[in-house]
Structures are given as C-alpha cells and as structure tokens.
Amino acid sequence: APAPAPAPAPAPSSYSDQEIAQAIASAGKTCAMTALEDPSINKGMAFTKEHRKMLCLQGLLPPTSFPLETEEQRALLQLNSCPTPLDKYIYLMGLQDRNETLFYRLVVDHITDIMPLIYTPTVGEACQKYGHIFQRPRGMYISIEDMGSVKSILSNWPSKKVDVVVITDGERILGLGDLGTYGMGIPVGKLNLYTACGGINPDRCLPITVDVGTNTQSLIDDPYYTGLKQPRVRGEKYMEFMEEVLIGLHEHFPGVLIQFEDFGNTTAFELLEKYRHRICTFNDDIQGTASVTLAGLLSATRMKGTKLKDELFLFNGAGEAGTGIADLIVEELVAEGMPKDEAKRRCWLVDSKGLVVQSRLHELQHHKIPYAHEYPEQIKDFAEAVRKLKPTGIIGVSAQSGAFSKEIIELMAELNERPIIFPLSNPTSKAECTAEEAIKYTKGKVLFASGSPFPAMEYEGKRFVPGQGNNAYIFPGVGLGAVLGGLKHVTDGMLRIAAQAVADTVTPEDIAVNCLYPPLTKIRAVSAKIALMVIEEAKRENLATKDVSCIEDVQKNMYANPGAAMDFPISNIIRKADAGYGVLRNPVLNHGLSFSIEERKRLNIHGLLPPAVRSFPDEAKRIQAQLDRIQRPLDKYIFLMELQNRNETLFYRLVVDHITDIMPLIYTPTVGEACQKYGHIFQRPRGMYISIEDMGSVKSILSNWPSKKVDVVVITDGERILGLGDLGTYGMGIPVGKLNLYTACGGINPDRCLPITVDVGTNTQSLIDDPYYTGLKQPRVRGEKYMEFMEEVLIGLHEHFPGVLIQFEDFGNTTAFELLEKYRHRICTFNDDIQGTASVTLAGLLSATRMKGTKLKDELFLFNGAGEAGTGIADLIVEELVAEGMPKDEAKRRCWLVDSKGLVVQSRLHELQHHKIPYAHEYPEQIKDFAEAVRKLKPTGIIGVSAQSGAFSKEIIELMAELNERPIIFPLSNPTSKAECTAEEAIKYTKGKVLFASGSPFPAMEYEGKRFVPGQGNNAYIFPGVGLGAVLGGLKHVTDGMLRIAAQAVADTVTPEDIAVNCLYPPLTKIRAVSAKIALMVIEEAKKEKLASRLEVQSEEQVKQEMYDPAY
C-alpha cells in the first residue's frame, strides 16, 4: 500500500534557541556571511531583529527591518526600471542568486508579467547570449570528458535530496537549434516554473546540462562559449554516457523525477523509449507539449460544441513536439472509444519534404511512421495540404515564422465556421503566425492558442485574450504529483489526465474573451488539481508509492507562498558554509570560469561550473563587454557593485585596468545619484551599520564582522553626503566607494577594508517619508549623547582592530571638526573632506604655480564656501606657506573665505563658527556678494566648495581673466551637478587662459586649436597613498605635515606632457604609482615625526611589493 505523504517542513518554531546556537557554532564564524551569501537562506532586509541576533547579523544589515511585502515592492520597482526584456531577465536571475524567497514571491505574485521574462520568449535571447551575459553558475554541467566519474561529480551538488531534475544536451533549444551549453537557461527557467507554478521546493531542484559538444560553428568561434569546442559525440558513446548520467541520478537521488528537455528529435525519442519504464521520467517537449495542446483542443471543441472525434488536425512540423501531440490526441480518442487506427488518421503531418504518407516510408524517421497514411498523391506544400485535406485545425511546430500565411489562415476560415489555429513554436520570433494575424484574417472566427505570449486585442468590438499553450500549465502539476505520490514512472495516461484537468478549469469568463486556457494567476491551483488527478491515475496504474487523497493534502505540501514563513533550514547553514558550494558564493574566493579543472576537482566544485576554463584576462574582457552594453551610469554602478559581490578579484582587475572610465562610476559623480536612491536600488549589504540603538553593545556588534584583521575603516554618519546634504544611511555608498579606491588606487587588501555607517537618525523629511529608507526614522541625535556614542564606536574600532586607520567621511561641518580635533592625537585617523581635499587641492595649486612660473607665496585665494573643505584647504595652504618660510599670520591672509552671509571678516566674529575664525581678517567694509569680493580683493585664484551650481558665473570668470594673466579657477564641489562652473565655461570665458581643476570629471575639449584635459582634483590622488603609508608604516597618527608631503608628491608627478594639455594632475592611469610614491614619502615623514611603528619599508619598490594586485 502507498506510504503516507511526507509531513510539511517544520515551522521556524520547531528549532529551539539551543539548536540554532549549536548550528551556528558548527558553522563557525562563516555563519553570518553564509546567511547573507546563500540565496536559499538570505532574507535581506526582511531579517527581523531576532533573526539578526540569532544569526550574528547585527551590524551587517541596515538598521531597518522591512516586511517581505515592502521588499517585494522594491524589487518590482527595480525590475520595472530595466530597459529591455533581456535586462529584466538578467536582473531576475541576479535576484534569484541573492534572495530566493524574494525571487519566488515576486514571480508567484506577478506570474503573468514575469513568466515571459524567466522563460519563453526572453529565455531564448538569453540562451543565445548566455556566455556573454553569464554572471554566476546555476545547476550542474556534466561533460562527456567526465565519463566514468559522473557519480563523483554528482556528490558535489550541495543538496542531498533532489526531487526534480531538468536535463538537456542543448541540441534543440526552443526553435533556435543547437546551442550546446548555452542552453542551460532552459533547465534553469523550467525549474523556476516547477517552483513558482507547482510548489516544488527550490532547494530540491537540479538543472543539468550535459555537454557532448556542439555542431554550431558560431559557438565554436565564440570566445565566450562555455562548453566543449568539438563536434557533438553521437551513437554508442553518447548513449553510454547518458546511461551513466541518468542511472547515476536515479541512484544518487532516489525517487527523483528526471525531465528531458530540448534534446534533438532522434535522441529525444530514443532516450524516452529507453528510460520511461526504467526510471521516473518524461520528455516535456514531446509529452508536456502534447498535454497542454490537448488541453487547448479540448477547450476549443467545447467552445465549438463539438467532440474531439469530429476534428481533423494537420501539423506543420513532424518533430518530437508534433508527433508527441499526435500521440496524445490518439490516446484521448482511444479513451473516448475510437479505434486506434481511425484515431491516428485524425492527425496528418507535413515535414520539410511535404505530407507524410505511405509512399515515403523508406525515408521517414521512426517516430513519423505511425502517421504516414495512404494518400493518392504527394503533396509538397502546406497550403496545398490544407486545401486537399480540409482540416478543422492546424498546429504549428515547425519553428518557421510566417508558415501560417494569410492565404492559409483565410482558407481555414473558409473551410470552417470556427477554425482551430495553434502556432506553437517558440520563441515568439519563430511562431508560425501572430494572434493578430489569425484573428484578423479569420474575421474573429479563430480558436487560437500559441506557444509564446501575445497581447490581448480588440477586433470589431470584441475582446480577444490569446491563450498561450504554455507547458507550464502541465509539467509543474505533473512534477508535483510525481513527487508527492512517489511515482515510479510517468505515463501518457497521466499526461492525458493533466490535459483534462487544465481544460476543466476554463471558465465562462475565459470563454467570453476567446481564451482556451485559464489565466496564469490560477496556475498554482491548476497544478494542485493536476497533481491530485495524476496521483489518482498513478494509483490506478499501480505506479504510486505514497498516498495523497485530497486537494488540501496537495496544497499543504506545496512550497508555500514564498516568504510566508521565515524558515531557516539549519542544515543548509552548516552545509553551505563548507567548501565547494561556499567557494563559489564567496566573492573573495570565487574565480568563476577561471578555476582550472584541477582546482575544481580539489575544491569539490567540478560540475558546478560550465566546462570551459577561461583565462583571467579573457574573463575581464567579457565583463568589460557586459559593462559597455549598459547605457545609464547608475545601471553601470549597480552592475559593478553586483560584480564585486560575486567576484572581488575580477571587480578590482576591471577597476584597475580601466580606472579612468570606472572611477566616475563607482565614485563621484555616479555615487551621488546612487546614494540618493540607495534604498530603492539596494540589493545586497556591504560593510557595517551601527545604530544609536546599539549603544552599549558596539563591541559585540563589531565581533560580527567576519575579517579579524582590518587595516582601514571609512566611517560616515551621512549628514553631509557630497554636496547633497543629509542622506542618513543612504550615504553608505560613500564609504563603500572610498574603500574601493583605497584598494584599486592604493593597493590596500580589500579583505582588510571596512565601510561603516553610523545611524543617529536623519533630519531630511523626504527620507522619513521614503518607504524604502534603510535607517532610523527619527531626528538626528546630537550633543553629548552623540559624542558618547561616537566614543564607543571609535575606541571600539581602535581596540578591536589594533592599528586600524579610521577615515572620517561626510560628517556635518561642526561634527567633522569636533571629531577630528578630539581623536587625531588619540587614534590613527584623518578626515578626507577636510584634509584629503586640502591635500589634493594644494597639489593642484602647486602644479598651477609651476605652470605660471610663480610661487605659492605670490598667490591670493578667495574661497566660495567656508565649511570643512574650504577651511581644510586654507589650513594646508598656510601649512605649506609656513614651511616655505612665510610667517603664519601673513600666510593666513593669503586665504579669504565667503560664506552664505558674505565675506568672513573680523566684524562678524560674534556669529562665526569656530573653524572660520582664523580666516576672519580685518576689512573696512562688509561684502555680501562673491562677485563683489572678487572685484575688491583681486584674487589670483578662486576655489569653489559651496555646492552651488553656477556660483562661478560668466561675469566672475571673465573678471578673473581680466585681473590675471593665468587665473586659477577650481570648482571643487561634488557631484558634477553641484560644480560651481564647468570646464567648458572656465576655458571659454577666460579665452583659454585658465588653470583649471574640478572635483568631478569633465571631458577633454579643444579651444582655438589647443587641447585642454581638465584636471580632476580627486581626493583619490591622496587618500589611497596616505592610507597605504599608514598601514605599511604602522602610523600612530596622520598629521598635516604628512598630507602636505602627499600634495607635493602628486605635484611632482605632473609631467611636461600633462602641462602641454593644461592638466594640473597626472593621468589616473598612473595613480597606483602615485600612491606608492605618496606612501613612501608619508612613511619617511612619519619617521621624522616619530610616528611610525614599522621601519622596514625603505623604497618605492618595497611599497609596490606590498600592494594588493588583483590576480588569481
């Protein structure tokens, strides 16, 4: 007797705190990262506070927990922003790789819109470009070269229980032909539908591509092809290999259902016949297509008021799909009482040579012979066959677009009151006709179904919703029945029953809009019904080993509404933290397709990657090509952050090799837009978030960071992000981007970098109102409590990571100065906005004076803006002037500031913030306007740090050119939209006299026959080298003297070639060499100041040897 069905998976409450603690202890410190990196475990922002504490995730996610519904809304927003269906496909596959629960929730709730993206028609384009869009492997690849060791390879699959395998050899992918391993998109997409539509547990699904070569020359020539570049193996060796694979699966995963998918015609029939009675298997192209087509035909006859026995069907195409459909029609007719020979004559086939008839028996493939009927003449043309045979229905399985011509469709309407027209070929581009053509040319009489979706339309006041004869109506339910019923085999009788189940769910509402199938929104209910009917049929055929007797039993055993329960499979946490699968999920360890075969075997990942092995440079080229096809800078930013989350080495190789193009994407200006939309584009967390609510437990939270050695921390409270204001936790993009540059430009080991956002609230109302804001929705905490909290954070970092350099970033003006002054002599720290900006600006000014043939002491600078950046620059200019021999008071008078209230002067002392007072000079009048200040003070250089676009007007720029032979104009505000003027404006309005530098990049240009390459005063020229020096020299503190030395080092690297194109900085392509030079000079300065604890670094060569180089 059949055994009882398995009990539902235990609810989260089934796991005690002790069991969870033991599981985490078993997984070790990798548990937290495993929970975030493994898509079957990761819940993203939907992890509750309790879950975060349980899994050591506190601090590794933004403070706010979102319900799954909000996470779904955000994902849908991101999906809808993708410009093309292929981009949407790539996004969805990325989502599945991050958060399986969220992916399936999205698919289930939006099945009508998303099914065409994750399966046909979009999957067809994805398969054709699979190697070009490849990001992370899914499923298993088993190559003919693995023959003899298949069982060993199967043991590398991380799930020990698999319910459903979808397997292909890629020979006949949809209607696109032999795509080899590029066909993996089909098993992946198919199993996504098994889960979304049929409720099969995704952790028990296994997509497999067997690689026996390809006969498609374009793939052999494709540099990114992922499979064996050899002709297909056929014959006895092929069948021996498939025997090893299929029996290996059957034995390794007892009870597994194996679905054949997109094999070549001959192979498909041969494999099905050989194994259908040995293992639990079926072929969806033959049997699934047949079943869903039969369902449509049964609906059509009901709408016509006829019986199936009254119909005559003519097939355009005689491959596995065509003969499979015909076989099931015959099965149904026989079940209704018709003799089999008579039933067969209801189905006629046309292949590439014409009508399949008895006179052609000698040339026919085996599967066509049952439908080779007697006919007095040879018909070569499908239209002629329609005229002669007068079918009531035509079924297209030829993959020939337009095969159902206007003539043929009109002829069908002439012959029949309600002609049945089913163009079933996939993808849409291969459909024999469109829905619009069928409806229009039959004048609305048609009963229509297609393989790919077509949009609803109106015709003569009547609404038509074209039915899609999608196999997804069938195979998920059949699969579910096979799993729950423990089926030994899948029979044609079961597929016939499945077709009836689908037809029975078509309602009067569906009929009213001429639709032959139920809406996709009901597909899970349809699958449950099919599963129960399949199990009942299996019992009748004595092929069920488990008993399920009612629809409620089926439904409770379906993979529940994804995310309804936040269930943590504890065994997964332990298992997936281990080697093998975990290597591919770890961005530090993952080498992708560059793993050699020997490495794959040693790491137990053989079979988890496509067979091709690529060199690191080739992989970098492929990824660069993916980046280049993306149009919008923000989308490029998102792509690069996801690349970093998959393969850190490859990410940094790309950045280092293309620093000029990529720096503006991972940092300013693009990072500004990314921060403004951070909650909306959020996909995966990076770094740590420490909230004011964590006060008192910061040390415990810091212990959750997986790296025990951290060299550099970049920390922000998000109050003053670039020139964009208070962005709260949305500001995390800045520490992340900054540390990317520490690594790419300064060679700091990325595994020793830690971005941190401290969350003390936000005063930006739009963030409080933003449903996706990731931080505390409360006003900013200030004053004593704030400083106590920062003390706990900063001293906690200093003690937990001894010797760490802590860089302050984008704090509010007052806070920035207060924190810098309080901690600069207690820990190793500096503020890049104050000191880094100062240093890179000083470097530009030193270059400018050399180009002018003057000295710094000869210049007078007027600042538009008097915040941390402005006064920081002024301080370092003074430091340099004093070092050159000028008295300090005199040096200060070389710098004048204009703030929002006008010129900073002595008469305003009572209202000035502390940091402005050193630059409040005596002046006989109060100047309110920057232009007026330029006229009165006659500066040689103006420096913009106001974040006011256009503050350097045409009038001001022309005035500067009038006052100076070579005016210095530095609009330094970020991002580009906040720059005080553009490079073009400065060059044009000064008639090419300007010495220009900006905070964000501007393109090179020609002016009156002269080339200008605007220098970008990017802090990246400074902080990576300073950081490298601090790490290698074991610096106790970072002083202004070191930053002054860094500025000199940058200025010294400006060459005559740079000067020739009016550029004040070296090209970014030299930035790693510049950083090495700065690091050595900083260490030497630290030795002089007795602040270096490591003395062994003596040369630039030694520095370069210590720098991280992204390579495998």
Q: Which residues are catalytic?
A: 667, 738
Closest to 639 (Cα-Cα) out of 6, 94, 72: 94
Among 393, 386, 389, 390, which Cα is nearest to 300's? 393
Question: Residue 516 is which amino acid?
Answer: L
The gap between the terminal CA atoms of the chain, to the nearest Å, is: 57
Strand segments, DSSP code E, in 578-647 are none
> DSSP assignment of 273-312, as one string?
HHHTTTSSEEEIIIIIHHHHHHHHHHHHHHHHT--GGG--
Sheet bearing 140-143, strands edge to edge: 140-143, 205-211, 164-168, 257-260, 281-283
Distances (CA, A) of 300 to 8, 304, 390, 443, 492: 38, 6, 18, 17, 21
DSSP annotation of 834: I
Q: Nearest-5° angle of CA 180, CA 185, CA 187?
A: 90
DSSP 663-726: HHHHSTTHHHHHHHTHHHH--S--SEEEEGGGTT-HHHHHTTSS-S--SEEEEE-SSS-TTS--
What is the spatial distance between Cα 610 and Cα 134, in angstroms, rounded to a whole number? Answer: 10
Distance of alpha carbon 195 from alpha carbon 498, whole angstroms: 18
- Does residue 917 sit in helix, strand or coil? helix
Q: Do 294 and 329 touch, CB atoms closer than 8 A?
A: yes
Locate 503 and state its tokens: 């037809």
CA pair distance 456, 142, nearest whole angstrom:
42
Interatomic CA distance for residues 60 and 705, integer angstroms: 7
Amino acid letter for position 1030: A
How far is the CA of 995 from the CAs of 846, 982, 988, in angstroms? 11, 13, 12
Locus of tokens 């005690």: 16
CA distance 527 to 533: 10
Task: Find all residues with CB under 8 Å of 840, minimum gap 6, and list them.
Answer: 1017, 1018, 1019, 1021, 1022, 1047, 1050
3-state secondary structure (DSSP) of residue 131: helix
Q: How far apart, in whole angstroms, are the C-alpha atoms of residue 301 and residue 418?
A: 10
User: What are 205's strand-pairing partners?
Assistant: 164
Tokens found for residue 1003: 């393109």
Q: How far apart are CA 48 and CA 57, in angstroms?
A: 10
Q: At what angle do helices 523-540 and 185-198 cross, to 10 degrees?
A: 90
Identify any residues that bridge with 713 across adjacent strands, giving them in sequence order: 754, 806
DSSP 1028-1075: HHHHHHTBS---HHHHHHHHHHHHHT--HHHHHTT-SS--GGGHHHHH
The residue among 490, 585, 567 whose CA lies nearest residue 531 is 490
Structure tokens at 595: 């793993």
Longest dimension (CA), the chain: 115
Reduced 3-state DSSP string for 941-1003: EEEECCCCCCCCCHHHHHHHHHHCCCCEEEECCCCHHHCCCCHHHHHHHCCCCCEEEECCCCC
Q: Which DSSP letter does residue 828 get? A: S
Cα–Cα dist 1031/1050, whole Å: 19
